[in-house]
Amino acid sequence: MDLVVTARRQAASERRQATAAVPGALPAAAPPPLRSGELPLAILVDYDGTVAQTDVSDALMAEVVTDEWEARAAEYDAGLAGSRRLMEWEVGLITTSPAELRALAAAQPHDAGFALLVRRAHAHGIPVEVVSDGFGFFIPAALEAMGVGDVPVVSADTTFPAGDHPRIAFPNGHPRCFVCGTCKRARVQAHQAAGRAVAFVGDGESDRYAAGYADIVFAKHALVRLCVENGWPFRRWTEFTEIDSWLTGVIAAWRSDPDSAAIPRPEPKPFFCGPEVWGEGLWDPPAPAGRSGG
């Protein structure tokens, strides 16, 4: 058993070194500290199924869907398998050209209301950030097409070496927990540490590790169930225009009273994931009682 653990840790160390060696794969910058007089709010947004109205990463895998892929994806959706290992396996299957992949990603429907929200937030000094636990490479172009190319993207770094399969690196992954490709928990906590309450907007499994730490949660689809199961307060949402309306009210309330309860004080939550509670170096989340991992 010890040999197995040692081998896994060695493999994890090698993967970290490989990630660190990928040119251009830099972690996202720390959020700027809140300055006096600034509205103490940051808005973090998932991408697949949230800004994009489909799961773009899954759409790109459609060409290689097999029974094995379905089984692995189902395990992930059930919270039994980590995304980092899944994505590493997935990119090795891709044979479609980067140009075709980008065209397919660009053709996915997007929620145009996101641009309204971004413009309103930026007009009031509120940071907006896309935090995605997907392949990531198609997000900047999509945001550019929506007119909000200045929104920072925190995600994996997928590259396309000539004549080879794509490669994926995880500059925004946790250094000691390998369950997720991008550590959404870390970004929520980074914005809270900078002095802002975090409103998080999402739709699915990868968002559990942000929703459980955020100060305000907007949930739809699978994230609703996750919030209910975990007892996390949330607001249902369908389109970004609803969140834009909410933000309009928050800004008005804060202007009339900077101590308004419309913006809660950022509050660090107890850890429920990561090395603090799971131990070091996990690749899959522990199976909840009564369920078994693959």
45 or 186: CB nearest Mg ion: 45
118 or 226: CB nearest Mg ion: 226
46 or 88: CB nearest Mg ion: 46
- Minimum distance between the CB of residue 49 and Mg ion, rounded to whole angstroms? 4
131 or 168: CB nearest Mg ion: 131
Closest residue by Cα to residue 223 from 239, 236, 241: 236
List the interface residues with Mg ion, window 154-213 (CB under 5 A). Answer: 203-204
- Minimum distance between the CB of residue 223 and Mg ion, rounded to whole angstroms? 8
49 or 79: CB nearest Mg ion: 49
**157-159/167-169 β-pairing:** antiparallel
- Minimum distance between the CB of residue 39 and Mg ion, rounded to whole angstroms? 26
List the interface residues with Mg ion, window 44-103 (CB under 5 A). Answer: 46, 48-49
Distance CA 74, CA 119 (A): 37
129 or 203: CB nearest Mg ion: 203
- Minimum distance between the CB of residue 77 and Mg ion, rounded to whole angstroms? 11
Distance CA 264, CA 270 (A): 17
Distance CA 275, CA 64 (A): 33
Distance CA 205, CA 223 (A): 6
Q: 34, 194 in Cβ contact below 8 A?
A: yes
Distance CA 288, CA 79 (A): 9
Distance CA 43, CA 243 (A): 10
Distance CA 159, CA 138 (A): 11
- Minimum distance between the CB of residue 202 and Mg ion, rounded to whole angstroms? 6
Q: How many residues bind Mg ion (CB under 5 A)?
A: 5
List the interface residues with Mg ion, window 107-136 (CB under 5 A). Answer: none
DSSP code per residue over 35-60: PTTS--EEEEE-TBTTTBSS-HHHHH
- Minimum distance between the CB of residue 2 and Mg ion, rounded to whole angstroms? 38
12 or 188: CB nearest Mg ion: 188
- Minimum distance between the CB of residue 115 and Mg ion, rounded to whole angstroms? 18
Instruction: Tell me which DSSP letter residue 219 carries.
Output: E
Query: Mask: binding to Mg ion, 22-51, rule CB under 5 A, as x and -?
Result: ------------------------x-xx--
204 or 285: CB nearest Mg ion: 204
Strand order in the sheet with 197-202: 153-154, 128-131, 41-45, 197-202, 216-219, 235-236
Please state, as a whole number, how many other Cβ atoms lie within 10 Å of the Cβ of residue 279: 11
- Minimum distance between the CB of residue 139 and Mg ion, rounded to whole angstroms? 12
Q: Which helix (H) or strand (E) holds 130?
A: strand 128-131
Instruction: Tell me which DSSP letter residue 260 carries.
Output: -
Q: Which residue is nearest to Mg ion (CB)?
A: 49
Q: Which residues bind Mg ion (CB under 5 A)?
A: 46, 48-49, 203-204
